[in-house]
Structure 1
Amino acid sequence: MPPMMNVLIVRTSSMGDLIHTWPAVTDLLAHYPNLRLAWLAEENFADIAALHPGVRAVIPIAWRRWRKSLLSPSTWAEMRVFREQLRARHWDLVLDAQGLVKSALPAKLARAPLAGYGWSSIREPLASLFYDKKHRVSRQLSAIERNRRLFGLAFGYEPEGVPDFGVHAGPRAGWLLPGDYAVLLHATSRASKEWQEERWVQLADTLARQDGMVAVLPWGSAKEKERAERLAGKMHAAVVAPKLTLKQASGLLGHAAAVVGVDTGLTHMANALSVPLVAIYTDTDPARTGVVEGPRAVNLGNAGQCPAVDEVLAALARVRSAA
């Protein structure tokens, strides 16, 4: 392989999906450090792609916004600019790691050799019809391992060792008071993934009483902010975080003494930053989309199984002792 290839990775959304791709990017650059690597990502998640230090450029796509106004001339003008930006550079290879028609279509616009998952390896098999090179990867593997295997097959190496996300925390938030704090990631994409509010309150009050930790409650929408404020009002020692960029969120998480989170993107970011972490699953299978377990991280629960507060506290004590 030529040492200075231009490679475009296509992984558009969601936050967790992009974070699950970081270890594959780390693997790839460990084998080919001179690659000029760019990433095509949904505009709302472009900062996630940019957090990996090996990514030299991020090309944002606004499909979520465009599809709401496909008849608008301004939308079509933006789409033309996007296509021109995509074609302004010569790509030696484009790798669609998303495996969806909505990712394969813009990947094809790059007018370069296009690789991706084979017909039986993805949720939308039709996407594989766009690829010049197709790779078979078991759907039984975790999302992180699927990405690592796909990248390895596309570039001719075998991924080895534990996943290395390759990212580092941003600076500690200046608005935080000195001392240890626990980040409680209470917000997620649907109600069935949530942990009961009374359990969050019990957890926060126990951490304050036993360890002197203040609970920090981030949020991303008006509804989530209302929930954070409601929870904080019931806790003995808690603060609602201000509106955070993804880079600022990495700083908050990366300096935390503990993180407890439900199935959401920021929980996976905490996993990538190697902080003491307990991930709570109530409606999804952590074997497929859970955090990478190790001395500092553990998954609790499963679809239809809701961990008790005592379970979370015991698990948190174990991962904190390993930190």
Structure 2
Amino acid sequence: MNILLVKLSSLGDVVHAMPAVQDMRRALPQARIDWVVERGFAPLVERCAGVARPIPCELRKWRKAPLARDTRREWREFRADLQRQAYDAVIDLQGLTKSALVARVARLSATGKRYALANRTEGSSYEAPTRWVAHESFEIAPHTHAVQRSRELCARALGYAVQEALRFGLHARDASRQAALPDALGVRAGGEVAFIHGTSRDDKLWPEAHWLALGRRLIESGNRIVLPHGGGEEEARSHRIASGLGSGAQVWPRMPLDALTDRLAACAGAVGVDSGLSHIAVALDLPHVQIYNFDTAWRTGPLDAMRARQRSVFSAPSPSVDAVWDAWRDVTARTT
């Protein structure tokens, strides 16, 4: 059976779709699973166990100049690449017009079908064309976690039950480096703890003074702080925090997403705001505390099945340093 998933973006949404792939691998071990994704996120999908072929596209770029010669050429190349394989099932996990377009362009087998969401779920975007091009669409309960929404849609489309076990299947490429690390990392002396402070929305940020206070506690406990960033203001913030923490902190150079994933996987744990990189830390099964200024952790934060190693902390306008520190001590105590 050949299956095509359409989940184009954004980074966190791509990560949240990965457990659906692991479900399909268990239920349909002979299936081939391809995945259409924005080119910038394709290196991450390559690291998702069970994905035979990531198919990169650049719809974000193309729609800025839809009639340009390069756009037309690149679209033709993408369409030819997409149609190399006929699919028995095309599943639109995005629920938007752009993903519906991709699903419609994909080539079906003689008995193939397209599947999609039939409704909007809380906190997620949704556009009607996704169900117009589908042979079957499925209604999902509105108050559903982003991970569970994708899992349920795939299960109903392909006729299997969602199992309780939750796996993302995201692996670092440098397996030797991973093997050298203990399985239960906790707050062991010398372990690197990543501070994932960057996010696409300023109202999701945690105050810099809080990062400094938390960093000092972790350094006193024998850890080192590492600071990934995406450049620009994130890089400047990384340097300000590192400067405030002294020799116990290090700013990472800016690096591609795949290299960043590998580097993060070797950390002892992470503390992060609601962002794509923070969701990668969850998928890597790192001890992790995720910080929320809004009561949306139920939709995108660590699920109950992962509470032994990961925890979300919510408070408005921002969680306190003590609340995050207590959550960190709790998750690391459970993993040591």
TM range (shorter): over 0.9
Query: Which amino acid is the alignment partner of residue 17 of structure 2?
Result: T
Query: Which amino acid is the alignment partner of residue 139 of structure 2?
Result: R
- How far residue 284 of structure 1 moved from its aligned partner, in angstroms, is 5.1
Residues 271 and 292, structure 1, Cα contact 8 Å, conserved in 2: no
1:133 and 1:55 map into 2 onto residues whose CA distance is 23
Is 1:74 aligned to 2:85, yes or no? no
- C-alpha RMSD of the superposition: 1.7
Could you tell me which runs of 5 or more consecutive residues in structure 1 were left unpaired when the two chains were aligned. none
Is 1:319 aligned to 2:319, yes or no? no
| CA displacement, residues 71-105 of structure 1 (integer Å, 9 cap, x when unaligned) | 31111111111111111211111110111111111
Q: 1:276 aligns with which of 287, 297, 313?
A: 287
Partner of 2:148: 145
Residues 201 and 234, structure 1, Cα contact 8 Å, conserved in 2: yes
Matched residue SS, 1:92: strand
1:157 and 1:200 map into 2 onto residues whose CA distance is 44
Is 1:59 aligned to 2:62, yes or no? no
Partner of 1:115: 115
Is 1:301 aligned to 2:301, yes or no? no
Distance 1:203 1:170, change over 3 A: farther
Matched residue SS, 1:70: coil
Residues 170 and 254, structure 1, Cα contact 8 Å, conserved in 2: no
Partner of 1:168: 171
User: Scaled by the length of structure 2, what TM-score is found?
Assistant: 0.89
Which stretch has the larger CA shift, 152-161 or 116-125? 116-125
- How far residue 264 of structure 1 moved from its aligned partner, in angstroms, is 0.5
Partner of 2:235: 225
Is 1:261 aligned to 2:257, yes or no? no
Which stretch has the larger CA shift, 11-20 or 126-135? 126-135
- How far residue 120 of structure 1 moved from its aligned partner, in angstroms, is 5.5
1:34 and 1:120 map into 2 onto residues whose CA distance is 32
Partner of 2:132: 129
2:194 and 2:41 map into 1 onto residues whose CA distance is 21
2:34 and 2:140 map into 1 onto residues whose CA distance is 23
Q: 1:98 aligns with which of 94, 97, 117?
A: 94
2:40 and 2:294 map into 1 onto residues whose CA distance is 25
Task: Count how many residue pairs are aligned between Structure 1 and Structure 2.
Answer: 313
Q: How does 1:234-253 map to 2 (within 5 A)?
A: 234-236=244-246, 237-253=248-264
Matched residue SS, 2:35: strand
Is 1:8 aligned to 2:1, yes or no? no
- How far residue 142 of structure 1 moved from its aligned partner, in angstroms, is 0.3
Query: Which amino acid is the alignment partner of residue 45 of structure 2?
Result: A
- How far residue 305 of structure 1 moved from its aligned partner, in angstroms, is 4.0
2:4 and 2:270 map into 1 onto residues whose CA distance is 33
Residues 281 and 305, structure 1, Cα contact 8 Å, conserved in 2: no
Matched residue SS, 2:51: coil
2:192 and 2:319 map into 1 onto residues whose CA distance is 22
- How far residue 70 of structure 1 moved from its aligned partner, in angstroms, is 1.6
Percent identity over paired residues: 35
Matched residue SS, 2:60: helix
- How far residue 221 of structure 1 moved from its aligned partner, in angstroms, is 2.5
Matched residue SS, 1:56: strand
